Amino acid sequence: MEIEELNLTEILTALQDFMTQDGAISAEQREFYQQFRNELNAHEGEFVIEDVERILMATRELVSAISEEDFIKMGEAILTRYRNKNADAINDRIRRLAEEAAAKRAAAEAARKIEEARLAEEARLAEEERLAEEARLAEEERLAEEERLAEEARLAEEARLAEEARLAEEARSAEEARLAEEARLAEEARRAEQARIDAEEARLAEEARLAEEARLAEEARRAEQARIEAELEAGAAAKQAYWDAQGSIGDEEKDVPDLPAQATTHDDEGESSDYLKPVIIASLVAILGAVTYLFIL
């Protein structure tokens, strides 16, 4: 069923019925009616409801004396005539509009559900992507942590090996220093022992030299003493021979000069002096050897 539009007579009749329902028409209503009719006469084509509403608003602009209440009621009167004329069509249109609205709502609901499903799928994919990204980052972090720990372990091992090498080097250096010290002390001990041996040998050599000198001095003394004794014995024998010769000549007494006492004393002093010289020399040599030995020790 199609909508039937109002014609000019139906529009003006609806407006007159509203104005005359109280029995009298006011000057403002009359002016509005005349201006509204002029606007309708100027319109070309059918009077669709939208055109009628537009003309009403235009007339309202021209006739400002009409009250807002009268203006609304005049529009309602025209719309009531329009609805009464097209009640079935309007109801059918309302039903169709309702169906269209329901179909639109159903389509919108379906579209909403599809959109929700799409968004849910996108959210699911985004969540899966987020979880995958988190898993990837976690794996990268785990690998980085493992790499960091491995690097720390490597550095710690290198530090441990370096420390062991350092300690080994220190131990080696300490051992070398200890051996060098022992060698130095052994060398010093050897040199000291060698010095002691050399000093002892020197002392023994000196003692042997002094003993040899003392022996030689003793031999010289004994030889000198033997010489002196031989000379004394020779002198005594000569003297005895002299007296024996004198006795054989006769008993005549003769003054024979004897050896001067001073000469005998001189011979004794020379004998004593020759005897003491080697002894004094041997004593001095022994004292010097003892002092030298003590100085070396």
Which residues lie below 8 Å from residue 55, measured CB to CB, with a gap of 6+?
A: 36, 39, 40, 43
- For the cut 80, the answer to whether the pLDDT of residue 267 exceeds it is no
Position 263 scores a pLDDT of 46
Q: How does DSSP assign 47-66, residue by residue?
A: B-HHHHHHHHHHHHHH-TTS
- Which pLDDT tens digit goes with each residue over 110-165? 999 999 999 999 999 999 999 999 999 999 999 999 999 999 999 999 999 999 99
Phi, psi of 47 (to 5 degrees): -100, 85
DSSP track, 137-166? HHHHHHHHHHHHHHHHHHHHHHHHHHHHHH
68-85 vs 8-19: helix axis angle to the nearest 10? 130
Q: How far apart are CA 237 and CA 247, in angstroms?
A: 15
Would you say residue 243 has pLDDT above 80? yes
Give the number of residues written for the chain: 297
pLDDT in the model for residue 265? 47
Average pLDDT over residues 81-92: 69
Q: How does residue 254 score in pLDDT terms, banded at 50, 70 and 90?
A: low
- Report the pLDDT value the prediction gives residue 49, as an integer from 0 to 100: 81
Which tens digits make up the pLDDT trace of 12-56?
A: 888 888 888 877 888 888 999 999 999 888 888 777 888 888 999
Task: Tell which wins on pLDDT, 99 or 271.
Answer: 99
Distance CA 291, CA 189 (A): 24
Q: Average of pLDDT values for 183-191?
A: 94
